[in-house]
Structure 1
């Protein structure tokens, strides 16, 4: 493999793994884009998901469709409506979005601009609202000179007021998102330099008359090869391909065999890799639609052969120029769903459906659209009536050589569609190609931003102020001292955490100016190790314990719930910070920091509410209980029952603070009851004896 290829692939991998830059990976047909996708899935330690615009493309990429992961409605998505119109997204998927590092979109040339904006809206909703795509890194893979997105005229009528183009790069979110472009150059599919030059010229819309004449020499009138030669026809229209396959199959005099697929779980029909009811005959020309997973690798996706025999267990296929006949058994395709592993908190590919069928389909003909990504030794190209940009190029580039290609009709120059907007985009792509220096700079910026994020406590301070505001505005319905405790917490937090972290952030630029990656800067690493230990111990031993025992009981259920939610948010924020600092006690490493941040996000369980006491706001009062029921609970139940009988609020009978005081001092007489705040002579006369009777039960 030429060095330049290794450099391009390594550059792309380094940008994905070691930076947070968005990457558009492109390249001519056959340059290994799909192979790179599968390698990234294996090599990167980032939490990722793979999506594609169609079911078949998603199955081939080992991912899911865009619409299923983001639960987007079908049809045109007017900006601002994706979040409103999407189905309710469950909590598990929200967690997945919040901890996603990398989103890979395959076959990006077929993705509409509004669909990409729909992804942006969903990710912003559940992640960072101010950042494009919620701050998730994007890897967009595809070739804009291949198949375009399908946009019907009535759909475009809705979208035209918002978009200059329907191609993915017209996305409003993407235009606010800087990204780099890496174009893979080396072609693996073809080795004939003459054919490669013709393909490149067609791809770049600079084909000459001489090149077109040379290509059209492959036109052979009334060409009708024997099936044993293994030619497949590529057609622009689906009905033409189906007609050829049906006619050829009917012409065979051998018995017909129909094989029914086994379906389990969820596997939508649009994602079936072959017919669920597959009719075949001995003599039929078929194409393998899956790679052989055995060590021998006897067949691959796109290989052509002819059926020689069929028995109860196997279909026997003989491929041109091969001596051995292949015994083909059923194979399995899996439809996956992304979920979170409850044990490891990793994003996992959860199988939700299975499709089991012979990995074959009739292959006298196939549409150009369905041939994308396949390779053929011999093909008849019927592309003279190409109607979409990229169809001619996709069809021709499926062939390994010019000699294995036959044209059903000469290709006129007007069928090689060109779009000025795509040409301008390609020129822009060339300007966005990075070098090693930009990679180093991006690594540095990424690591510096992560450190600045680590020492930023703005959200914690916001949540403290939010909670304190709730307490101050509702002090009369809360426990005495609730405001004082939180005010002290705010002061302690600011002095020991907020102000120190801010001073540390102010010192970071001096370290960054040393022109070293933070991971390689030893003086900085030593400071981070010390800071990691300090902030970990501060949060774990001083700050979180105060939140765990903070009183949130209130007669006003709305206030109580709002305060609890606010304090839980604060606890979670500090919990995540604590684990990030814990990971830095041995030094800073970017990927380890990301892992700690994501894992703590998923592992968090609110510890502030201590079992039943934290749910009811009851005091710590294990003494004097009867049958497991405390005095506080008994008085509260009696109060609520009495309030219900009189159709009034509970606090009108006995305020919560009064019940707490009764539980604490446990008066024995009516005179002692009069000393309790909230009891006057009238109230003592009305309910005093009943209250004392309840108290006596717990003496």
Structure 2
């Protein structure tokens, strides 16, 4: 970041970069608030996002709207209502919010208190932290003497029971977290001290009669400037501005040119920086609405000029006091969204939309609201009918000089609206301005808190006990070794991690008591390095191996989630301790912690996935458990459901261990029950018999005895033609019912067997009619349409017969 010569801007920068204090940056118009925002955005090493209340403000700030990032509903947000919202956040956005360090909110004067509380609710929800805004640092930028939030009467009727004011500082979450206020007072826009004093008096609602009379001397009755003088009219109402621009354009006798914007991707209409269909004529007064990014800086946002010529792709504009005519070509605005870089895990701005148009708009008139942030050399102020707080000040402060403004009507004192609440808030702001000593203490507090967080296993200990409670509640469906494994982990964890860190944390205040910051305190740094090495080794060689050794093959989602949370917390702690081996640095520690949050991958999930893939992809399962698991996976695929709904893992393990051979024995297996045993019992018994006999055959082969050749699918057809049912064939051949149906389906497909021999005619016709009429894409879709009267196997056979063109023949 370039050197900041303004002491207050430097103070604000230091608080943002080196502390976790929330900052309200305010100041008069033209004091450099927007410039500071862009400096922080491009120079801070913290993970940050920029939001604004409107689309245009967000584009100008290089950020996104509040509602798009936090997916807030429009309208009043009654406290607690967001807890009932079901808006789905993507995994990427959740990760972004979880690792956010700094949130910059521009134009905070226009943000309602309930919207700020909506941000708080979303951040606390996804960061799983109880502190206001989930512990994210806030930089709130704006001037409360400028434009206020828009709150309709019907909306305020809903919010009034919860809020004393609709301004941002009425936020319930903000009132629970201390913040400092820094008011910028060096004005860069105006240099005339007389005009500056008038503006300050208008801003603070203390204008004297003499100052008002001085200001109203700029009222010039029937003032009609020449078109080449470059005056723009600032109006309180949008319709008045549109009407004046339209009348002026129509009065020109030159040819009308229409320029259509090129819009790509996502770029909502409310955020268009200028007209998508821009109508201009030679002689029209226009305003630039984008800064010249070239080295010459020939124009800026708000500069006024007159069109002198229009070519096919260039518009020529002459600005007052400029010696040369400017050749203007189309420029590009980008709409962005925040994403996580897959390589670096940094928050980055991803372009999602583009708006290409000439950076011009008709500028005989503009609304005061849209002029916020702009600077004009000459302006006609039409603010006598100001209806909102701050409108007069915003309009007057757009002008660089008093001589450059003309009043359409004298400004009455009653149009300079005042609010006692804002005056009281401004007094509080004055009292909250920090000094260098408070900055030092804030740095110290921030670094100390980060160290205390680093050497705390409170969350890990809580998650371990959560695992133990969850396992205790579901013991009946879990591996018997899981509870003892977690108990052993708890013993080691309590003695070597939790209790040790508690003793170490009690020693830290002694090191903190000195006059040095923790980062500069060498005795403390030495102690941190040694402690970090101890806990790194403890996690690597004892805690993680103990957790990994716990048997966790279960379909219980709650157990999975609890174990994943614990494993993730240990992973994050390990990464953070490794980052302290060369010493503690606050920004480096925060960066490491955030990256660890994003880089974690559950080892249990990876192993489970590999195991399931091995079991379900192998043509010949290696064990009975593998065979049962493969059957379970196939059934889940057929029914389009989760594998655990077919049978729990623990039930599969018990089946593989006990090898029941009858339906009665099967019913005794926990997790089956009589109903399910009757439904899927034949398949399970056939798998068990087949696998048991194959094991016996392999043993016989190993001893040199002859084994019978495995029957081919043709045998299934022969047995079926002999009058045996599918169930009889499965039992006789020690294969599953679905395998027999698969054999017969092949012969139906080849035309060797009529589908009517396997399935009743009425069913065949019902299935065939449905397939031809609806052309479903999957068997599951067909099953859903036909109901429980047909099976997947019957649907498949009819489908095969249709493909073969053999539905009606043998």
Determine if the TM-score, normalized by the shorter chain, exceeds 0.5: yes
Deviation for aligned residue 1:459: 1.4
Other structure's SS at 2:259 match: strand
- Assess if the C-alpha contact under 8 Å between 1:190 and 1:401 holds in 2: yes
Other structure's SS at 1:257 match: strand
Per-residue CA deviations over 1:579-630 (Å, capped at 9, x if unaligned) read 01110011100000100000000111111234357765999xx9xx874654
Hey, what's the Cα distance between the residues in 1 that align with 2:86 and 2:602?
29
What TM-score, normalized by structure 2, do the two folds share? 0.79
User: CA 1:320–1:650 in 2, change beyond 3 Å: closer, same or farther?
Assistant: closer
Give the equivalent residue in structure 1 for 2:411: 411
Give the equivalent residue in structure 2 for 1:36: 36
Give the equivalent residue in structure 2 for 1:477: 477
Give the equivalent residue in structure 2 for 1:294: 294
Deviation for aligned residue 1:653: 13
User: CA 1:227–1:243 in 2, change beyond 3 Å: closer, same or farther?
Assistant: same
- Assess if the C-alpha contact under 8 Å between 1:5 and 1:184 holds in 2: no
Give the equivalent residue in structure 2 for 1:237: 237
Other structure's SS at 1:233 match: strand
- Assess if the C-alpha contact under 8 Å between 1:73 and 1:86 holds in 2: no
Hey, what's the Cα distance between the residues in 2 that align with 1:653 and 1:24?
55
Per-residue CA deviations over 1:286-306 (Å, capped at 9, x if unaligned) read 000000001100000000000
Per-residue CA deviations over 1:341-375 (Å, capped at 9, x if unaligned) read 11110001010100000000000000000000000
User: CA 1:697–1:491 in 2, change beyond 3 Å: closer, same or farther?
Assistant: farther
Per-residue CA deviations over 1:22-65 (Å, capped at 9, x if unaligned) read 00000000000000000001111000000001111000000001
Hey, what's the Cα distance between the residues in 2 that align with 1:400 and 1:653?
76
Counterpart mapping for 1:89-104 below 5 A: 89-104=89-104
Give the equivalent residue in structure 1 for 2:599: 603
Per-residue CA deviations over 1:482-501 (Å, capped at 9, x if unaligned) read 22222111111122211111
In structure 1, the gaps of 5 or more residues are: none
Give the equivalent residue in structure 2 for 1:426: 426
User: CA 1:502–1:251 in 2, change beyond 3 Å: closer, same or farther?
Assistant: same
- Assess if the C-alpha contact under 8 Å between 2:457 and 2:501 holds in 1: yes
- Assess if the C-alpha contact under 8 Å between 1:266 and 1:352 holds in 2: yes
- Assess if the C-alpha contact under 8 Å between 2:485 and 2:549 holds in 1: no
Give the equivalent residue in structure 2 for 1:132: 132
Hey, what's the Cα distance between the residues in 2 that align with 1:480 and 1:295?
72
Per-residue CA deviations over 1:77-112 (Å, capped at 9, x if unaligned) read 111113433621111111111000000000000111
Give the equivalent residue in structure 2 for 1:586: 582
* Residue 517 of structure 2 is aligned to residue 521 of structure 1: no
Other structure's SS at 2:604 match: coil
User: CA 1:639–1:406 in 2, change beyond 3 Å: closer, same or farther?
Assistant: closer
- Assess if the C-alpha contact under 8 Å between 1:631 and 1:695 holds in 2: no
Deviation for aligned residue 1:431: 0.8
Hey, what's the Cα distance between the residues in 1 that align with 2:143 and 2:634?
71
* Residue 630 of structure 2 is aligned to residue 634 of structure 1: no
- Assess if the C-alpha contact under 8 Å between 1:58 and 1:64 holds in 2: yes
User: CA 1:493–1:184 in 2, change beyond 3 Å: closer, same or farther?
Assistant: same
* Residue 228 of structure 2 is aligned to residue 228 of structure 1: yes
Counterpart mapping for 1:246-257 below 5 A: 246-257=246-257
Out of 558, 570, 573, the position equivalent to 1:574 is 570
Deviation for aligned residue 1:480: 3.4
Give the equivalent residue in structure 1 for 2:739: none
Counterpart mapping for 1:677-688 below 5 A: none
Give the equivalent residue in structure 2 for 1:388: 388
- Assess if the C-alpha contact under 8 Å between 1:128 and 1:135 holds in 2: no
Which has the larger Rg?
2
Deviation for aligned residue 1:472: 3.1
Hey, what's the Cα distance between the residues in 2 that align with 1:151 and 1:381?
26
Out of 551, 558, 561, the position equivalent to 1:562 is 558
Q: CA RMSD, aligned part only? A: 2.9
* Residue 454 of structure 2 is aligned to residue 460 of structure 1: no
Give the equivalent residue in structure 2 for 1:445: 445
Hey, what's the Cα distance between the residues in 1 that align with 2:447 and 2:695?
62
Hey, what's the Cα distance between the residues in 2 that align with 1:649 and 1:215?
79
Deviation for aligned residue 1:564: 1.7
Does 1 or 2 have the higher relative contact order (CA < 8 Å, sep 6+)?
A: 1
Hey, what's the Cα distance between the residues in 2 that align with 1:129 and 1:649?
34
Other structure's SS at 2:6 match: helix
Most deviating of 168-177 and 330-339: 168-177
Hey, what's the Cα distance between the residues in 1 that align with 2:323 and 2:95?
54
